[in-house]
A and B are shown apart, each in its own frame.
Chain A
Amino acid sequence: MKINKKIAVSESGFVFDSSTGDSFSVNPLGIEIIGMVRDNKTEDDIRKILSEKYEVSVPVLEKSLSDFIGSLRSAKIIED
């Protein structure tokens, strides 16, 4: 997983794609996850880190994470 080079993410959660002009807003956990993808972490790594840090059941975490990464893919924020 790689973050599209044309994507700028601000600390406030504003995501701007300079190649398409699209902008998005992301909540804090979303920013955290995008940051981890940028640091070349895999989905597995991310899941492990989050499950240690947050009060959440495994199925909910797995589903939420894959859902979010799916959204990032369809928004072309993540390229493979």
Chain B
Amino acid sequence: MAKLHFERPIIKKLNVGISNKFGSKTEFEPITEIDGVDIKELIVKYGSPLFIISEKTIRETYREAKQTFESRFPKVQFAWSYKTNYLDAVCKVFHQEGSWAEVVSRFEYEKALENGMPGNKIIFNGPDKTEDDLKIAIENESYIHIDHFDELYSIMNLSEHLKKKPKVAIRVNMDTGVYPMWDRFGFNYENGEAWEAINKILMNDKLELVGLHTHIGTFMLSANAYHIAASKLADLAYHIKKKYNHTIQYIDMGGGFASKNTLKGAYLSGLDTSPTFNDYAEAISSALLNSEIPPDSLPMLILETGRALIDDAGSLAGSVIAIKKLSDGRRSTIVDFGVNILFTSFWYEHKVTPAQGFTQYSETSSMYGPLCMNIDVIRETITLPPLKKGDNLVVSRIGAYNMTQWMQFITLRPKVVMIDLNGTTHIIRNNESLKDVKGLESVPEHLKKISK
């Protein structure tokens, strides 16, 4: 006779008032596959933990966003935010879909060039661009988004020795009714600094002012803030036209769209509260269309949204290492993925789902990563079915920032695979080896031997 499925025996005290969801039933279904590919088979083949990226989800999400904006505004261009996820395979999917590149360092800039982006489809943002970076960007006809006056003067200076006229935009920060205000990047709108920078550029003929850029914050839960920001940039564009008879080619609204993750401390689920592409598109396009810019000279709208385009496409599969009881009787579940590779655990209540079937019973525990460090907490509390060593889990919506902000700390980073549109799996970044890490090190001669 076949043996029965084993579910760890559990007992749970029924606390008055805080009974679990409904009766004892857990509230979701297991995730056993992604795009038809079995999670357990992936783990057997590629190891645990494992980052899994769905090409299908990237393309679908991108197309949804693009269509949503294009149905409201005549000229729309997306620029893939490299810092959100700069694995080449991921960038290439976005570039195939028609996205430009948005980079904030020389490293990212060169990655974009190597990914086949022509210079005039790269937007170079950020406060740190060296003279050499600027020179290369000018020669490649990339769009340089100026962050501060020091940079503005450097570019003016450089332009005297270069044949090409730099194409620039200025980054503008402003009060959009969302606080704390992001005022450390760019020139301020309210105190007139942005207008001053514009005047400096347009009063002499050294630089070509092609665009206006803003990036009002991150994980913005208010679509209306974009409405305010777009109105302010449109106002600047209108005044530039009026004073200099100069037409701004594009308005770049930056990124910051929230994904469907739930922020720590939020009461309601991100699935319900995060604005949709529709909400953001409506806020931005209505501001631009209702501005004083005449319809025949409407600028192109550039969007640098990263998180909202890639978060859903990434999942992290992992395994349970141990189930422990803490000193006060609370449970803890130790898993093989920690904050070293799941950096976003610091601000999200990540959705963690078992990768195998389960019954209606559940228990509450803390979820800790494998690092021998107290900060390695994936979830302070999470209610899951009774898990046992070796069970697999899937963390959903982790495509943004984790594969760029991860750390080679204590242990080596795992593989990243991409499931293509046919359901074939490709390794797009191999796991690190001791050799990879040690390869960069060297030991002085006198330390080579440890015994005399």
Contacts and interface: CB of A to CB of B under 8 A. Distances in A.
Interface of A: 13, 15, 22-30, 32-33, 50, 52-56, 59-61, 63-65, 67-68, 70-72, 74-75, 77
Interface in B284-315: none
B4 A55 contact: yes
Interface string B11-44: 1111000000000100000000000000000000
B240 interface: no
Interface in B156-198: none
B82 to A, nearest CB: 44
Interface in B314-343: 323, 325, 329
Which 4 pairs show the lowest CB-CB distances between chains A and B? A56-B6, A30-B9, A27-B361, A55-B3
A54 B11 contact: no
A37 to B, nearest CB: 11
B429 to A, nearest CB: 33
Contacts of A50: 6
Contacts of B10: 26-27, 30, 68, 71
Interface stretch (B139-147, B212-220, B264-272, B386-394): B386-394
Interface string B380-419: 0000001011100000000000000000000000000000
Given A27-B359, A60-B388, A67-B323, A22 B7 contact: no
A52 B389 CA distance: 20
A24 B12 contact: yes
Nearest to B329: A74
B8 interface: yes
B3 A27 contact: no
Nearest to B385: A27
29 contacts: A13-B24, A15-B11, A22-B14, A24-B12, A25-B11, A25-B14, A26-B9, A26-B10, A26-B11, A27-B361, A29-B6, A29-B7, A29-B8, A29-B9, A30-B9, A32-B9, A50-B6, A53-B4, A54-B4, A55-B3, A56-B6, A60-B390, A63-B323, A64-B9, A67-B8, A67-B325, A68-B9, A70-B325, A77-B11
A31 B323 CA distance: 21
B323 A53 contact: no
Contacts of A23: 13-14
A7 to B, nearest CB: 11
Nearest to A32: B9
Contacts of B361: 25, 27
Interface residues of B, number: 23
B242 interface: no
Nearest to A53: B4
A54 B388 CA distance: 14
A56 to B, nearest CB: 4
B8 to A, nearest CB: 5
Interface string B195-219: 0000000000000000000000000
A75 B10 CA distance: 12
Given A27-B361, A29-B8, A68-B9, 11 more contacts: A25-B24, A27-B9, A28-B7, A30-B10, A32-B9, A55-B6, A60-B389, A61-B6, A64-B6, A64-B8, A68-B8
Nearest to A50: B6
Nearest to A69: B9
B11 A75 contact: yes
Given A25-B14, A25-B24, A54 B6 contact: yes
A22 B15 CA distance: 9
Given A54-B5, A74-B329, A27 B13 contact: no
A60 B24 CA distance: 24
B4 to A, nearest CB: 5
A35 to B, nearest CB: 11
A59 B323 CA distance: 13
Nearest to A71: B11
A28 B418 CA distance: 40
A1 to B, nearest CB: 14
A77 B407 CA distance: 46
B199 to A, nearest CB: 71
A80 B325 CA distance: 21
A73 to B, nearest CB: 11
Contacts of A71: 10-11
A67 B390 CA distance: 17
Nearest to A61: B6
A24 B361 CA distance: 12
A59 B4 CA distance: 17
Given A27-B386, A60-B389, A60-B390, A68 B6 contact: no
A58 B126 CA distance: 57
Contacts of A67: 8, 323, 325
A78 to B, nearest CB: 11
A24 B6 contact: no
Contact of B11 (A28, A52, A55, A68): A68
